[in-house]
Amino acid sequence: MRITDGKATRLFIVLAGFFLTNALLAEFVGVKIFSLESTLGIAPFEWSLLGITGNLNFTAGVLLWPFVFVMTDVINEYFGPRGVRLISWIAVAFICYAFFAAYASIALAPAGFWVDANRDLGVPDIQHAYAQIFGQGLWTIMGSVVAFLIGQLIDVAVFHRIRRFTGEKLVWLRATGSTAVSQFIDSFVVLYIAFVLGPQQWPISQFLAVGTVNYLYKLGAAIALIPLLYLARGWIKAYLGEAEAARLRDEAAH
């Protein structure tokens, strides 16, 4: 029997593929900062915290990271800590490789006609635009990768600690609880490395204020996606069969 013939193996490949795709895309689209209020067509929300004020502006990556959180919990539920750790380390390696490939492509000498090919569209130098979009700062890359890995490892530990107390009940609690703790760490680690240790040298008050707002958004997104977690469990149960799904969950818990 080929290794891909097993339903559990195919399930892991699909979940891991969705996890990796969202993690990679989130890193690259995250260079864009968007206004949540303008996107929703509502009046600007002026928040004020620790003497810092601002609006609800986030990186576009926050649209995809919540799906990574959901996939983390689903993989954790059926394949345990080893499954999450494996896919997390693979994701870090792929993200580093992707950024290396992006920097290598930026270094390639652009064709002369291509540089101003989009001038009529408002992009006078597309090579410069390309470099700005794909060439994220090294401090930002390092902060994102370190925060992602730490967050994933913490998520695994908290998820299974809650599971030991709840058993098969309260799926939403272990999923949301683990995300709440891991993303608290993630939200502040990435900002600290990228903007406090990095060249921008944010003051601690700005670091804490922006980190808190970002964390509250991520926590709200995690809560909003709880139904997706139950939908995923239902689909997996239908795909594997109740007995096989129960077997995987039992093995993952030990």
The confidence band for 2, taking pLDDT boundaries of 50, 70 and 90, is low
Sign of CA dihedral 32, 62, 71, 100: positive
Query: Comparing C-alpha atoms, which of 84, 86, 81, 70 is closest to residue 252?
Result: 81
pLDDT at 4 over 70: no
Contact call for residues 110 and 127 (beta carbons, < 8 A): yes
pLDDT tens digits for range 173-229: 888 888 889 889 888 998 899 889 887 888 999 899 988 988 998 888 888 988 988
Contact call for residues 60 and 51 (beta carbons, < 8 A): no
- Look up residue 133 and give its two tokens: 């979009």
d(CA 63, CA 175): 18
d(CA 150, CA 132): 27
Q: Angle at the Cα of 149 (from 49 to 52), degrees rounded to 5?
A: 10
Quote the number of domains for the chain: 1
pLDDT at 161 over 60: yes
pLDDT tens digits for range 128-160: 999 988 887 778 888 889 999 999 889 888 888
d(CA 114, CA 235): 47
* Buried/exposed 107-124: b ≥16 CB within 10 Å, e otherwise: eeeeeeeebeeeeeeeee
Q: What values do phi and psi take at 108, rounded to 5?
A: -65, 135
pLDDT at 75: 93
pTM: 0.87
The amino acid at residue 157 is A
Distance of CA 150 to the CA centre of its chain: 12
Query: Comparing C-alpha atoms, which of 231, 247, 214 is closest to residue 175?
Result: 231
pLDDT at 1: 47
pLDDT tens digits for range 234-245: 999 999 998 988
pLDDT tens digits for range 58-101: 888 888 888 888 899 999 989 988 999 999 999 999 999 999 99
- Three-state secondary structure along the chain? CCHHHCHHHHHHHHHHHHHHHHHHHHHHHCCCEEEHHHHHCCCCCCEEECCEEECCEEEHHHHCHHHHHHHHHHHHHHHHHHHHHHHHHHHHHHHHHHHHHHHHHHHCCCCHHHHCCCHHHCCCCHHHHHHHHHCCCHHHHHHHHHHHHHHHHHHHHHHHHHHHHHCCCCHHHHHHHHHHHHHHHHHHHHHHHHHHCCCCCCCHHHHHHHHHHHHHHHHHHHHHCHHHHHHHHHHHHHHHCHHHHHHHHHHHCC
d(CA 119, CA 227): 46
